[in-house]
Structure 1
């Protein structure tokens, strides 16, 4: 049944012929007990992401990881660290190892360091993907409303087909996660379930 906006939203960008998996900020700050951004239940998203990474590796598709890191003293944190003071946990001299990845990249898989929400902003991600012939970006990680959302939007802006995997993302509450997936699916990405993504990888 068409909504009040008729066919205005929720078209499909679909899958191209060359997918890559992007693992956004899946670090201890979100996944470990006591982390500054600790999620209520990171287990399912971690497991789904691990499945997608394994499928991409088996299929010969690129896997790219992102982490957030700031210089000691947050000199490169800009206004983002003023807006979200807990980001100080990602400074080079911060205790706790909160910026360490929860899952392990393999040799040859790029780990992009970023300072802002989007994996594309101020990084070499678009060039890396274009050079590898990638046309479809499978987006996983945390948080759905933050870095996943920003990265999916910028994937679309950069000419890639964003596929956000529902089970492979997480946020600080289920309603926030679901609301952002609904809005992403309406405007900026295809939100897909894990089995569909695995089948394409």
Structure 2
């Protein structure tokens, strides 16, 4: 009779194999957090958009994103947003537009680039970083802004896990921060793609943490400030 292993056992074996190869280290959180919401917009949520999904992953991640943002604001943790903003005709998108023609949804004036009505939506005074490429750090002032705020630990999430979230988390590490990627608040078109990229991020470039743990950390951060 052929033995089978459970999905949990397979996942544990995968982590063990990765750790044995020298991956799966732990960055830990520092004492000065911020939240970076990556490209949560209608382009991933509207069924008419070429970037949307059929499995509801983006909507579930949007709802998680809103909860994390609300908890961050309640705790006094800075909240920053990134968004893709491209000139008409994609003149400033370079070869990225050639590789991904659906970037046309981010042309200035296209309503698919707007924030979802259900949130999260930037509030007055919150930083919004406009970008043309995947990483929130590439060609922007994000690193300087975080350093000026004294941030050491960015909590990163949004759309999509394999693209802009991954690129931003990688660049956060390379810019000297401790990236924490919020699992439930990340969305991608395919569940397998989402899960594999979260695994790889956790193995090499960031700590992938559950939403519940992040909410508890923010509550503790607020309590420490009040003490």
The correspondence for 1:61, drawn from 77, 82, 103, is 77
List structure 1 segments (4+ residues) > 4 angstroms apart after TM superposition. none
Are 1:126 and 2:143 counterparts? yes
Alignment RMSD (CA, Å): 1.3
Are 1:100 and 2:90 counterparts? no
Residue matched to 1:15: 29
Gaps of 5+ in 1: none
**Are the equivalent residues in 2 in contact too, given 1:57–1:63 (CA < 8 A)?**
yes
Shift of 1:56: 0.8
Q: Cα deviation per residue 1:1-57 (whole Å; 9 max; x = unaligned)?
A: 742661500000000001111100001100122112012312221111111101110
Q: Following the alignment from structure 2 to structure 1, what is the Cα–Cα distance between the partners of residues 19 and 106?
A: 42
Are 1:138 and 2:152 counterparts? no
Give the TM-score normalised by structure 1: 0.95
5 Å matches for 1:29-48? 29-40=43-54, 41=56, 42-48=58-64
Residue matched to 1:150: 167
Q: Following the alignment from structure 2 to structure 1, what is the Cα–Cα distance between the partners of residues 26 and 83?
A: 29
Residue matched to 1:85: 101
Gaps of 5+ in 2: 1-12, 219-227
Which protein is richer in helix relative to its size? 2
Q: Following the alignment from structure 1 to structure 2, what is the Cα–Cα distance between the partners of residues 153 and 45?
A: 20
Give the stretch that moved more between structures: 66-75 or 155-164: 66-75
Q: Following the alignment from structure 1 to structure 2, what is the Cα–Cα distance between the partners of residues 56 and 157?
A: 24
Aligned to 1:168, the other structure's residue is in SS state strand
**Are the equivalent residues in 1 in contact too, given 2:82–2:131 (CA < 8 A)?**
yes
